[in-house]
Structure 1
């Protein structure tokens, strides 16, 4: 276990927790102290307004945020005042503070100030289970240090973490796996709705941070060391989620042992040590065997798009074995970048800018790597999997062999859906996407006659938007607009819009469609064959519900 990480010492952690609570070291309090301008600047990774706002403040929360997040220093007396139970000595013993590396003064000078060895930030969120207020430890950011990130850097809570938390369903389950847990934020979220949470990572440093975060927030996690699914061989789970190290990074063979940030050796929190996007391919090939009946997987990922190929060429190939195994899958591409954009994005993510000497060589390596595989673009998005069945029906969940459902009944192939969707509506996405994934399976078993006999209901957040030439009666364009979920905008005509608008559960879909066709003098048989696939899509997107 690394020695330069916070140590899990229960008595000292309890004292730290007491002091953080007493100081009201929360997101709400720190944002109040910072003010809107400084908060907005921090989101742009500009710490200067925040440092100015907190300079000279005697408020304990102000000193703690300056010291533990912004990279400022503090005297021992100031630390003792802000952390009276733990004290400066306790903070040093715990491994969160150390002596600042400054030029020593002359004889009789004051003791050197202390600096943070970690980032300890307040965290607030709200998921489907309610409000959250925690503290999260990670390695200091580039914002605090002014230097590029180290290869073994452990991230705090960033945009990808928040996205994964937003799209993960929060239903009560037995066993959960956080694959590649980093500092453990996703595992902490899962502890609120799972009986047992397993969190794995290849990085000892990440596991040490996760252990500290769990102890600080009084949460129990089953932490395991190992690569990908190796630490859970032979086990199955009701929910698996992961933000794996999927960043496509040019490889050096062998990777130098003395690599530094900015070399093509990469950063362990994001680089999986494989050429191209093959790590995600390996993971998706092995993951379905670890899903219990009814079990789901939620992943973030990106994939190469070969020149002249469809954007979903790679995800479809990766998920074909899962589909053959009866697992349903849904891939949602959220954005694309060209190779140059991608290289620039991830170079800057590691703290390398176009003003750094390493910039030219690093970006050139990326572009050459993509060109070697004729990669035209890189897609980003969500990968959702579900093994149909009733959760908890497999014998010996947790110790059963890694296999599919125990039933000997033949299972139809799974459903594989891919779509490019860039919009975003209001609210959390976890249950919304989980319901859509379930609907994929239900619709596969629902023929057109059964669908026509059902009584769908238009979702309350769906409205109709019409575009007209000023003064005209007939619209040039009709759109069905979703307020929640992914905020979809679906082009429609009078028949689809009229059908959806009348779906209130009173009449069957067949009766509604028949009435609309009669009112518009349209051929009912022809319209049924055209409208039913569109209604199926609306059911998956939760714009219409059964």
Structure 2
């Protein structure tokens, strides 16, 4: 895409104020919510009532799939003009001679702990599902979906001198990494790189991102990075004739082999203290455990990279039929059609050949700690299906990771010698029967970084309540053992175990120095 035309488009979009909040204000909240679900009638009614404007023309073209005359386009995009939009490939002529969108052009705001407010972007991509009116092309380049938003929201917020976006697609992840440091963005698809370069220039961050073409880590072999983010094409797809292959979701490998390669090969490219965060799907064979397979990938990566700190979170677990239905629909097939039934059968046959009983969906975070001293690899693998907190998920996940790893690496005596702080997001809930003084149950609840609920006994609940940074956990254990009339050693052992669990949940963290 011609750089000069991209610059003209940027000037026009800025002048119109083509932004998320402006579109929502133009359409109204109910109509905008319906549009995002693929229901356009409320938004079209809203635009008819509001009358003509440059913003309305852009919304009709790029958000609702309507046509516009050349004069309307010239008025809405005066620097680019209808002729420039056609040359850029942004618009095409319909059969009637009017102009219609040939690409999606969406205003986007994605939450990122790096900044207080979600940054504004304009994103070019292939037409969204609701506007395309048919199956996607094999080299389809997606816009910003839910998975990508989740990856960015989970990203560590700290500075990173050199970052890698592995499988950049439309480039949105690379643009968020550019808020942290210099970026290299790779993709196997040249078409994706064309869109990514255009989006980087359109949003004024092109000078901070270097784009390279190649498969997985091949374009960056021998280099090192402070932060690697990846939403790779991890969808498990049958390697069978007649099954569509889409580059944005299918890495061309059998089963979850692509996710395995990212996790096994990526850590070796991390600088000391560097972090790899990727989304992935993983298979669980009959008699096996998907998260244990992920643990094995990380332990194998540590053979080449050295000791690693890792956290694998399974956000959902689906059966083969559910998985097959999701991705058959994603490609445009509809239930009841012969094509849909054929694709479902191909997926089920593929899973059956490997005796797969479920598929895990989640995120894997790996850090190369470096530093002196002998270390062992620490892997914490868990299923956590609660929602992510809306507030600073990336910062809070990074803090929970630090606290969890620290607790895992400490001895029991070290945990007891530390002053711990309870998060201000922790709430204690007690259930009482009418007339009973003692609670039936006590729960510790937190809504960030991931919503969690832990059943606690009176000892643990009281200890957490006393974690204000003033006393070491051992001192708290001594006091509570006396108060509750329990053995001090048993109380201490129980609180060490509880501290290790709660640290991973973001409920407590070390307050600072050791208490000698």
Question: Once the 2 structures are TM-superposed, how far is the Cα of residue 202 of structure 1 from its aligned partner?
Answer: 0.4
Question: Once the 2 structures are TM-superposed, how far is the Cα of residue 470 of structure 1 from its aligned partner?
Answer: 2.6
> Is 1:197 aligned to residue 183 of structure 2?
yes
Q: 1:215 aligns with which of 201, 206, 210?
A: 201
Question: Once the 2 structures are TM-superposed, how far is the Cα of residue 512 of structure 1 from its aligned partner?
Answer: 0.8
Aligned to 2:319: 338
Aligned residues: 502
Question: Once the 2 structures are TM-superposed, how far is the Cα of residue 440 of structure 1 from its aligned partner?
Answer: 4.0
Note the residue ranges of structure 1 that are not aligned, 5 or more in a row. 1-6, 105-111, 256-262, 391-408
**Inter-partner Cα distance in structure 1 for 2:18 and 2:11:** 11
Secondary structure, aligned partner of 2:471: coil
Secondary structure, aligned partner of 1:506: strand
1:96-495 matches, within 5 Å, as 96-100=90-94, 102=95, 112-128=97-113, 129-131=115-117, 132-194=119-181, 196-220=182-206, 221-252=209-240, 263-324=242-303, 325-389=306-370, 411-424=374-387, 425-495=389-459
Whether contact under 8 Å (1:323, 1:413) holds in the other structure is: no
**Inter-partner Cα distance in structure 1 for 2:369 and 2:238:** 38
CA 1:285 to 1:306, structure 2 compared with 1: closer, same or farther past 3 Å?
Answer: same
**Inter-partner Cα distance in structure 1 for 2:386 and 2:487:** 34
Question: Once the 2 structures are TM-superposed, how far is the Cα of residue 441 of structure 1 from its aligned partner?
Answer: 3.8
Aligned to 1:19: 12
Mean CA deviation greater in 67-76 or 328-337: 67-76
**Inter-partner Cα distance in structure 2 for 1:232 and 1:342:** 33
Which string of whole-angstrom CA distances, capped at 9 and with x for unpartnered residues, describes residues 332-377 of structure 1?
Answer: 0111111111111111122221144411101110111111111111
Q: 1:62 aligns with which of 49, 56, 59?
A: 56
**Inter-partner Cα distance in structure 2 for 1:438 and 1:484:** 15
Q: CA RMSD in A?
A: 1.6
Mean CA deviation greater in 67-76 or 185-194: 67-76
Whether contact under 8 Å (2:110, 2:153) holds in the other structure is: no
CA 1:311 to 1:437, structure 2 compared with 1: closer, same or farther past 3 Å?
Answer: same
Secondary structure, aligned partner of 2:127: coil
> Is 1:520 aligned to residue 484 of structure 2?
yes
**Inter-partner Cα distance in structure 1 for 2:74 and 2:298:** 55
**Inter-partner Cα distance in structure 2 for 1:323 and 1:353:** 44
CA 1:331 to 1:41, structure 2 compared with 1: closer, same or farther past 3 Å?
Answer: same
> Is 1:8 aligned to residue 12 of structure 2?
no
> Is 1:85 aligned to residue 79 of structure 2?
yes
Whether contact under 8 Å (1:328, 1:415) holds in the other structure is: yes
Whether contact under 8 Å (2:111, 2:153) holds in the other structure is: no
**Inter-partner Cα distance in structure 2 for 1:130 and 1:507:** 33
CA 1:47 to 1:357, structure 2 compared with 1: closer, same or farther past 3 Å?
Answer: farther
Which string of whole-angstrom CA distances, capped at 9 and with x for unpartnered residues, describes residues 441-487 of structure 1?
Answer: 43344222222111111111111011122332221211111132112
**Inter-partner Cα distance in structure 2 for 1:43 and 1:307:** 39
TM-score (norm 1): 0.89
**Inter-partner Cα distance in structure 2 for 1:307 and 1:52:** 53
Question: Once the 2 structures are TM-superposed, how far is the Cα of residue 323 of structure 1 from its aligned partner?
Answer: 3.9
> Is 1:502 aligned to residue 496 of structure 2?
no
Whether contact under 8 Å (2:311, 2:379) holds in the other structure is: yes
Question: Once the 2 structures are TM-superposed, how far is the Cα of residue 55 of structure 1 from its aligned partner?
Answer: 4.2
Secondary structure, aligned partner of 1:455: strand
Whether contact under 8 Å (1:332, 1:383) holds in the other structure is: yes
Whether contact under 8 Å (2:237, 2:254) holds in the other structure is: yes
Question: Once the 2 structures are TM-superposed, how far is the Cα of residue 428 of structure 1 from its aligned partner?
Answer: 2.6
**Inter-partner Cα distance in structure 1 for 2:21 and 2:231:** 27
Note the residue ranges of structure 2 that are not aligned, 5 or more in a row. 511-516
Secondary structure, aligned partner of 1:318: helix
**Inter-partner Cα distance in structure 2 for 1:32 and 1:355:** 39
Secondary structure, aligned partner of 1:334: strand
Deviation beyond 6 Å, 4+ runs, structure 1:
none
Question: Once the 2 structures are TM-superposed, how far is the Cα of residue 423 of structure 1 from its aligned partner?
Answer: 1.0
Whether contact under 8 Å (2:110, 2:152) holds in the other structure is: no
Secondary structure, aligned partner of 1:364: helix
Whether contact under 8 Å (2:237, 2:250) holds in the other structure is: yes
**Inter-partner Cα distance in structure 2 for 1:59 and 1:347:** 39
**Inter-partner Cα distance in structure 2 for 1:140 and 1:55:** 24
Question: Once the 2 structures are TM-superposed, how far is the Cα of residue 37 of structure 1 from its aligned partner?
Answer: 2.2
